């Protein structure tokens, strides 16, 4: 089971990560690691592809990009799988039973070269005892003589213990040699005592194996005759009754194991998908294999019930549509955001910090200061970059005095020139050469729901009017596909000119354009929608549009 000291917590932003989402996740994970001790391990992640601006920031400050977190659905590998090694198919059922008791398990995997061949359970072993009436079962199961020796606590007097008993029956020589001739046949395994005449008779009948009970000595003559005919001779300290009772326990597990129709799960299978399968099967333990097809362990429905959910901290969003897939199945520990309250629900109470500032990084920096921790130069650089990005270097109406103060302090710690950094960041972010319409559209795209209306809004910030014009020509014919693919009623795209502090809004969908005209009180005959002074999706476009839809 996962050790409490190594519990992993993912710190992740929204599906279309911007610089704030990524940098805040990295910096907040860094802060949590400093204040949480060794109880948890905080790992910054991303829920989507990085845009050019964010890539530039990370490369400039030498920070590795967070790994992609495609979803937080619980996988089998996240559950407390009962890890154990498999056993050889030639192991006797007695040894398998002893191993089960030692491990306190009901099922064991039978493997070869770590690949699953079958499973043997206590039920299989119990059923094996019902077959004691079959005196040919040892041969049918191709039982190795060494198994017989081990089960009977015996010794090999002559013959190859690694050979197999493959033909004949098991017979007990309890009668006279004359009677033995009537039921002992060629290749039989004969259980007998210390009577020389009976031993000699069994050899003359060409038995394949003699099991001599009660530790009786084997004469030189019998030994010589047995060697000449390749007959295996085993001595055991047990009496005839005990040997007859024990000998079937030497049968290899491969004879009784289940190998056909097994329900096998993979470590990458989603727990949600296998629950129904498990409830329909009358099986206690299910084998699990890894990506390479090697046996990994066993999982049971009880272990699924006890499984811990994936733990996450969400930054820069609190909308379910923007969160990583499977968020309903995860345990949300915290939410750090600066947007409006969204549709995300949690099972229990969580730490939720939401402040009306221009950037999540401003909140994260405040939390550093509250803990009396000064971020190092790298973390300060990332936080400062996030503030520059989200506030458009303090030009955005979402910018507050807290953002300005935080940006100035962080720039001082990091030793960076904010004007120069902003210029390089915005140039990198608006360099969209070679990108497809899809890549441009979803570089910064968010979904929203108001009542029954679902719409999406994308945004590109640029300091180059010509580049924005080129992007417009590429995106206009693509918006219809966005609406159909994502099942949106309306699609909008903001082409924001940072220098002119204005936005041209592209529209698609039934009454999409009319809704914006009405929301912003524009002339009814407006062709191209230009919104002067509007540069913020969060504070200027969305609130106005949502209020209009609600009315």
* Kind plus residue range of the DSSP H or E element containing 232: strand 232-235
Measured CA to CA, the distance from residue 547 to residue 533 in angstroms comes to 19
- 153/244 same-domain check: yes
| Pairing of the two strands 502-509 and 529-532 | antiparallel
Q: Please give the tally of structural domains in the chain.
A: 4
* pLDDT score at 6: 64
Alpha carbons within 13 A on the beta-carbon side of 539: 18
Residue 365 has a CB neighbour count (10 Å cut-off) of 29
* pLDDT score at 3: 45
> Which tokens is 391 given?
């506030």
Instruction: Tell me whether residue 135 is in a domain.
Output: no
Instruction: Tell me whether residue 470 is in a domain.
Output: yes
Per-residue pLDDT of 438-497, as tens digits, reads: 888 888 888 999 989 999 999 988 877 888 888 899 899 999 999 999 999 999 999 998
- 168/313 same-domain check: no
Residue 82: DSSP 8-state = B
* pLDDT score at 343: 79
**Last residue within a domain, chosen from 305, 330, 345:** 305
Cα–Cα separations (whole angstroms), residue 180 to 173, 215, 218, 228:
7, 22, 19, 22
* pLDDT score at 505: 96
Residue 550 has a CB neighbour count (10 Å cut-off) of 9
* pLDDT score at 134: 77
CATH number at residue 225: 3.40.1390.20
- 462/402 same-domain check: no
Instruction: Tell me whether residue 218 is in a domain.
Output: yes
Residue 260 buriedness (CB in 10 A; 0-12 / 13-18 / 19+): exposed
Measured CA to CA, the distance from residue 153 to residue 416 in angstroms comes to 80
- 521/485 same-domain check: yes
Measured CA to CA, the distance from residue 404 to residue 392 in angstroms comes to 11
> Which tokens is 523 given?
């002339």
CATH number at residue 291: 3.10.580.10
Please state the separation of Cα 97 from the chain's center in Å: 32
Measured CA to CA, the distance from residue 428 to residue 50 in angstroms comes to 12
Measured CA to CA, the distance from residue 531 to residue 394 in angstroms comes to 19
Instruction: Tell me whether residue 446 is in a domain.
Output: yes
Measured CA to CA, the distance from residue 88 to residue 508 in angstroms comes to 65
3-state secondary structure at position 373: coil
Quote the domain boundaries for residue 446. Answer: 437-550
Q: Which residues does the chain have with pLDDT short of 50?
A: 1-5
* pLDDT score at 433: 66
Residue 520 buriedness (CB in 10 A; 0-12 / 13-18 / 19+): middle
Instruction: Tell me whether residue 134 is in a domain.
Output: no
Instruction: Tell me whether residue 136 is in a domain.
Output: no
Residue 163 has a CB neighbour count (10 Å cut-off) of 14
E-only strand ranges, 101-177: 107-112, 115-121, 143-144, 155-158, 164-165, 170-172
Percent of the chain at pLDDT exceeding 90: 65
Q: Which residues of 282-303 are buried (b: 16+ CB within 10 A; e: fewer)?
A: ebebbbbbeeeeebbbbbbeeb
CB 294 within 8 A of CB 113: no
> Which tokens is 249 given?
């326990």
């Amino acid at each position: 089971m996962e050790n409490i000291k190594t519990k992993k917590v993912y710190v992740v932003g929204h599906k279309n990560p911007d610089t704030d989402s990524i940098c805040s996740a990295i910096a907040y994970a860094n802060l949590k690691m400093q204040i949480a001790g060794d109880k948890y391990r905080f790992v910054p992640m991303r829920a989507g592809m990085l845009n050019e601006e964010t890539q530039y920031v990370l490369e400039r400050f030498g920070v590795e990009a967070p790994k992609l977190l495609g979803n937080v659905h619980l996988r089998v590998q996240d559950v407390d799988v009962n890890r154990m090694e498999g056993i050889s198919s030639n192991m006797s059922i007695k040894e398998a039973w002893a191993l089960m008791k030692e491990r306190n398990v009901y099922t064991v995997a039978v493997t070869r070269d770590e690949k699953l061949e079958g499973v043997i359970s206590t039920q299989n072993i119990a059923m094996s005892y019902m077959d004691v009436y079959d005196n040919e079962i040892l041969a049918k199961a191709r039982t190795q003589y060494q198994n017989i020796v081990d089960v009977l606590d015996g010794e090999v007097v002559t013959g190859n213990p690694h050979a197999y008993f493959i033909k004949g029956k098991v017979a007990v020589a309890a009668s006279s040699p004359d009677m033995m001739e009537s039921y002992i046949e060629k290749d039989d395994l004969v259980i007998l005592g210390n009577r020389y005449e009976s031993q000699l008779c069994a050899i003359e009948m060409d038995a394949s194996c003699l099991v001599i009970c009660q530790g009786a000595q084997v004469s030189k003559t019998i030994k010589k005759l047995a060697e000449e005919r390749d007959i295996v001779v085993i001595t055991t300290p047990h009496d005839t009754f005990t040997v007859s009772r024990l000998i079937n326990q030497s049968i290899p597990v491969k004879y009784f194991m289940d190998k056909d129709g097994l329900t096998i799960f993979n470590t990458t299978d989603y727990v949600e998908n296998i629950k129904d399968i498990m409830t329909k099967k009358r099986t206690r333990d299910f084998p699990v294999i890894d990506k390479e097809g090697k046996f990994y362990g066993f999982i049971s429905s009880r272990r699924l019930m006890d499984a811990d959910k994936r733990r996450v901290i969400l930054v820069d969003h609190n909308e379910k549509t923007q969160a990583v897939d499977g968020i309903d199945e995860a345990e949300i520990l915290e939410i750090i955001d600066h947007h409006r309250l969204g549709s995300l629900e949690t099972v229990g109470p969580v730490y939720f910090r939401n402040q009306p500032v221009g950037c999540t990084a401003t909140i994260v920096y405040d939390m550093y200061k509250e803990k009396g921790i000064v971020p190092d130069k790298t973390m300060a650089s990332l936080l400062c970059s996030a503030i520059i990005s989200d506030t458009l270097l303090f030009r955005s109406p979402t910018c507050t005095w807290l953002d300005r103060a935080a940006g100035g302090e962080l720039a001082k710690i990091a030793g960076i020139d904010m004007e120069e950094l902003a210029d390089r960041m915005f140039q990198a972010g608006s360099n969209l050469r070679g990108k497809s319409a899809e890549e441009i559209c979803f570089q910064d795209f968010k979904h929203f729901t108001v009542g029954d209306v679902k719409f999406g809004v994308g945004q590109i910030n640029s300091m180059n009017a010509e580049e924005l014009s080129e992007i417009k020509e590429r995106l206009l014919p693509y918006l219809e596909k966005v609406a159909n693919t994502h099942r949106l009623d309306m699609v909008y795209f903001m082409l924001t000119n940072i220098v002119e502090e204005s936005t041209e809004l592209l529209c698609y969908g039934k009454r999409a354009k009319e809704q914006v005209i009405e929301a912003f009180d524009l002339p009814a005959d407006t062709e191209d929608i230009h919104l002067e002074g509007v540069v913020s999706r969060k504070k200027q476009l969305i609130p106005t549009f949502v209020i209009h839809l609600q009315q």
